[in-house]
Structure 1
């Protein structure tokens, strides 16, 4: 419970709110934003409320950044051209509109006081643990947002969260269901593996030349080589200008003095707690029972203070911290609910106090550590300050020279050298690139590739215009070599085709033999196999088995052992499995039992949310302009 409040202030919920700042207008549009866009294209409508192309494009860019962060260098921008991805992004926007509409319809409201309280808890807007309006205004201003626009977005997000929370807050898992799931999840099975590999059949397979030629003729599209170019390019970025700026010791000192608070760490405390939950709408009898229970636990804790962690595992009803002995880690002011914070910041290390009443119930608190406030010395932070000042100067210089760069690459369009020489940049050369696949950070951009393959640039070998590929980053490129689209000749690919056909047949033969062996084993027949050494398998530790094989291990009927199972191997061939022992879990502690109950409740809540959204969609009038969805600019 208390962990949830912490997450709300510092974790997932804060990230949701911050995403509203960092990626402006990525969710449903704020009215003032939409109305300022004039007659923008409509991608879809939800009960008459429009989803504009700008809103969709921004949401698509948001998804692009998430994928880029997740996939790193393997990210391919072409992923976002997939109809499935684009439809998924639109579906998410539609869901968001439906939730806000329904929340308004049934009277869900967020008061100004509630809104202010949530925003004040966001660490990004705080200084020394306290909300700072100047910091708040500055951060929003940097993202071209006004407080009213941001607050409108947060209010809508809170409304949808409150709506969903009201639907899913009272999920209860019966003891029988929790026990059944725990038993199945914690069960262990000893299993051995034998893989029937395709390689053992390769020598038996002969591929006729006619089959190779037939495959080539019927799969010509597989052997197409796209149109390609090699290019020169120059990147002007703030990062590229870092080496051209200098920072003096006097500048470092002045920055340090004017930003001294930035280099002060606030006091933090570490505590553990035992929570006895009390619902906000609890009856007087329930409150009395909770108080009695809390005082009984406190008495036991005071008698055995060294056993606090074990007692937290036994008694605490905070599923997020009970398994860790009630430990909440380090926290500063503003991270916890007020009564808990006030108590914790008055305590000495090792002290135990309680019961402390909050909106979540009654807390027994043990303070375990204090990390005092600290001011860092200039020598300690000098490197950070130099780096920050150089970044500021480089950004300023970028703004000063960006127009000059754009003018030179345009006016002296037959070469990139003048721009590179004027701004002390390097002309780089790419490998072969296609319309959809760039080479290096400079050319791995849709707009740059589009420009390179345009008729004017391709045929006249002129510089592209200066193209913004990221914040404070411009690129200009020119074609130096070109290859038209072609088809690889048969002689070049015939060996690869023959090998492919041979491998495909070997996979089929391995599967057939594996299935035959499995049938024989299940019939009790003797089959000479070299089984691997048995391993103890759990659903949490597959011991190297792929997901399909793991499912078969626990799906196998284990009433009579050994039991046998089998499944196609994702790398080709067939995996045979021998289950020789089954061990049911015993002595599962209360903390783990609570965690299972919580997880099941969340799973059911998620399913309920999906069902609820499906119901809203069924009743709603939703129109999607398919042709505009495809054409919407990224």
Structure 2
């Protein structure tokens, strides 16, 4: 916890975390969670209370920190009973550990505590030293006493200390680490025969009665969901930043204090023309591709427009943009391409370059040398950063003012005018649109969709990085798309489904013949010309060029060389029959380069196991009573 606090104590994110999280529980627990029953204790551990207020504080701090670290996190996970129970479980463990620390005579001295506080970056002056005035300002801004903050720090450090004490026996051997490394780093290759579903589309026959039956059996697939048009005001640093003034002097000071953040690697801006050639292409195929790329190169060298040549001849995905690749640094492209590009000067065109994709011609349009970005290059970025930091400080005040105006009956347009902020209007918004667009929970989106027309949300809606208040101005009920409008799509879907079933049947027959000694040789000979070997892959199940199939990877690693796997596997567009070609152990050189990191990781794993075992023993002896289960299940 201390390390996370240190890492996250700078920037506007921590201000949101400690400053405007007061209302995050509105949609986490519902209003009923804090009305009526006002029991101040959520649970007891060995008759020692865990105050509800403490649980609330830790919950919202943890939720906001997770949102900050992973903005794409599913909001529903942060509202789930499992997550709330995990937070309570964390508090229970903390109480148990604190009690055990006292029993063992482990404590935190004042000097240790003050050292930890002095290491928090938010309290450091420009020269990196602890600044007491910054510390006091931090506490004042959050209406927190020094005693409360220091007690939280003391408890956190005490728990960390006892965990380190308990984990002292963790000492993995090099043999254990090497065994783990060998297992995790091993790769495999398969030989496979692919049966495409597209080959069976013509054989798929879908009748009108089947289409009608599917339409009637799956009304949800063809329902246009209920939607609403809403006006809203966003209270996030990004939205409110436009109303903040940032002076040139502030930007210059920020740049001077953060120069290390504005260093850049050498870069090139380039276009390319690609002629596709498989890595395992025959000599004749390679010769044809070389002849084709040489002709294009001659046209480019003669002065013809490179972008137009790319649009006409390139076989890569960038052809529609004239082969444009934009700016890139070393490490962004495959090695041969990168080496050729960084040797070129501005305006130069390369000779044909062979990569695993084929032959490329590269034109470098501009270059940037490695070094420090100038202030002019980054001033717009700095201005945005400072404006967002200022905006984050104003969110609480603006939001409180807006809620007072909502309570007085004022409409959203008038509220926006009063606050001097923009009122935005959505297009037709569904439950799903709202959750995705704003990062709000499904319950929060539902509360907006279910608003009566013309009314506003009475409480703020928690969204990614902040809050919003909304007013519904129009509602559109759910409706079913007519069959004639979706008939073509249904027919196409059912045809593809039939085709995939036929592909699976053929693949299963082929697999059966290959696995039967009496027919194996003849069947292998019949598919030999279409048999391919995959790129190597790991145990995670992603096979380059084929896609993700963990079950296929699991069975391949469990198989022996040249043994056909006992089932056909579905991959995008078809099925494959496969056998293990090779299992490739990781190299000794790789082991030597990663040994220390693996040993450290294994030590952490063993330490966690020891700590968990220690905690289970303590928990088994502890008396834990939850007196407010409603706060966990709402």
Same fold (TM over 0.5): yes
Determine which of 120, 123, 128 is the counterpart of 2:121.
123
Q: Give the match for residue 146 of structure 2.
A: 147
Identify if the C-alpha distance between structure 1 residues 478 and 518 changes in structure 2 by more than 3 Å, giving closer, same or farther. Answer: same
Q: Counterparts of 1:210 and 1:476 in 2: how far apart (Å)?
A: 49
Q: 1:15/1:389 Cα in 2 relative to 1: closer, same or farther (>3 Å)?
A: closer
Other structure's SS at 2:531 match? coil
Moved more, 535-544 or 606-615: 535-544
Is the alpha carbon distance of 1:479 and 1:532 closer, same or farther for their aligned partners in structure 2, counting shifts above 3 Å?
Answer: same
2:483 corresponds to 1:482: no
Equivalent residues in 2 for 1:248-287, closer than 5 Å: 252=249, 263=257
- Residues 57 and 493 of structure 1, relative CA distance in 2, 3 Å threshold: farther
For residue 228 of structure 1, what is the aligned residue in structure 2? 227
* 8 Å CA contact 1:567, 1:576 repeated in 2: yes
Supply the distance in 2 between the matched residues of 1:13 and 1:409 (Cα, whole angstroms).
35
- Map 1:35-46; keep pairs closer than 5 Å: 39-40=38-39, 42-46=41-45
Between the aligned partners of 2:401 and 2:588, the Cα distance in structure 1 is 73
Aligned residues: 493
Aligned to 2:555: 552
| 1:577 lines up with 2:578 in the alignment | yes
Alignment of 1:575-614 (within 5 A): 575-585=576-586, 587-588=588-589, 590=592, 592-614=594-616
* 1:628 Cα offset (Å): 0.9
Shift of 1:195: 3.7
Match of 2:452? 458
CA 623–215 in structure 1, closer or farther in 2 if over 3 Å, else same: farther
- Tell me the CA shift for residue 446 of structure 1: 7.4
| Partner residue, 1:432 | 428
Task: Give the RMSD, CA atoms, in angstroms.
Answer: 5.1
Distance 1:108 1:159 in 2: 8
Flag the 1:488–1:620 CA change in 2: closer, same or farther, 3 A. Answer: farther
**Correspondences of 1:63-74 after superposition (within 5 Å):** 64-66=63-65, 68-69=67-68, 72=71
Q: Kindly report which structure 2 residues correspond to 1:253-402, keeping only aligned pairs within 5 A, or say none.
A: 263=257
Identify if the C-alpha distance between structure 1 residues 148 and 180 changes in structure 2 by more than 3 Å, giving closer, same or farther: same
Residue 621 of structure 1 is matched in structure 2 by: 623
The 5 Å alignment of 1:485-500 reads 485=478, 496=489, 500=493
1:360 aligns to what? none
Aligned to 1:521: 514
Q: Is the 8 A contact 1:20 1:154 kept in 2?
A: no
CA contact (8 A) 1:20 1:150 kept: no
**Counterpart Cα distance in 2 of 1:520 and 1:567:** 12
Q: Give the structure 2 partner of residue 294 of structure 1.
A: none
What corresponds to 1:293 in structure 2?
Answer: none
SS in 2 for 1:553: helix
Matched, 1:532 2:532: yes
Bigger shift: residues 159-168 or 74-83: 74-83
Deviates more, 1:424-433 or 1:185-194: 185-194
Q: Deviations over 1:564-590 (max 9, x none)?
A: 576634647544333334454554464
After TM superposition, the structure 1 = structure 2 runs for residues 3-14 of structure 1, keeping only pairs within 5 Å, are 14=6
Secondary structure of 2:452's match? helix
For residue 431 of structure 1, give the secondary structure of its aligned residue in structure 2: coil
Query: What CA deviation, in whole Å up to 9, does each residue of 1:40-81 have, x standing for no partner?
Result: 465544444445554454455445435544654x55534444
1:566/1:574 contact within 8 Å kept:
no
Q: Per-residue displacement from partner, 1:426-469 (whole Å, max 9, x unpaired)?
A: 44221222456528977957797566456xx514x245558475
Q: CA deviation at 1:183?
A: 3.8
User: Unpaired segments of 5 or more residues in structure 2?
Assistant: 22-36, 261-373
Structure 1 gaps, min length 5: 1-7, 27-37, 267-376
Could you say what secondary structure the match of 2:471 adopts? strand
Q: 1:556 to 1:130 in 2, by over 3 A?
A: same
SS across alignment from 2:154:
helix
Q: Which residue of 1 aligns with 2:326?
A: none
Rounded to whole Å, the distance in 1 between the matches of 2:70 and 2:559 is 36
Change (3 A) 1:419 1:500: same
Whole-Å separation in 1 of the counterparts to 2:416 and 2:232: 10
Contact 2:16 2:466 in 1 (8 A): no
Q: Would the aligned equivalents of 1:553 and 1:565 in 2 still touch at CA under 8 Å?
A: no
What SS does the aligned partner of 1:192 have?
strand
The 1:188/1:50 distance shift into structure 2, 3 A limit, reads same
Identify the residue that residue 110 of structure 2 maps to in structure 1. 112
Answer whether contact 1:233 1:442 (CA < 8 A) is retained.
Answer: no
Distance across 2 between alignment mates of 1:613 and 1:111: 24
Offset of residue 389 of structure 1: 7.9
Cα distance change on mapping 1:65 and 1:202 into 2, 3 Å: farther
Partner Cα distance (2:99, 2:14) in 1:
19
What do residues 225-263 of structure 1 show as CA deviations (whole Å, max 9, x unaligned)?
A: 5543212234577766665665677xx49x98xx89984
Query: CA 1:622 to 1:194, structure 2 compared with 1: closer, same or farther past 3 Å?
Result: farther
TM-score (norm 1): 0.60
- What SS does the corresponding residue of 1:137 show, helix, strand or coil? helix
Taking structure 1 as reference, are residues 613 and 126 closer, same or farther at Cα in structure 2, changes over 3 Å only?
same
TM-fit CA distance, 1:153:
2.0
C-alpha spacing 1:247/1:551, structure 2 compared with 1 (3 Å): closer
Distance 1:508 1:464 in 2: 50
Q: Aligned-pair distance for 1:191?
A: 3.2
Distance of 1:603 and 1:444 partners within structure 2: 35
TM-score by length of 2: 0.60
The structure-2 alpha-carbon separation of the partners of 1:134 and 1:579, relative to structure 1 and needing over 3 Å to count, comes to same
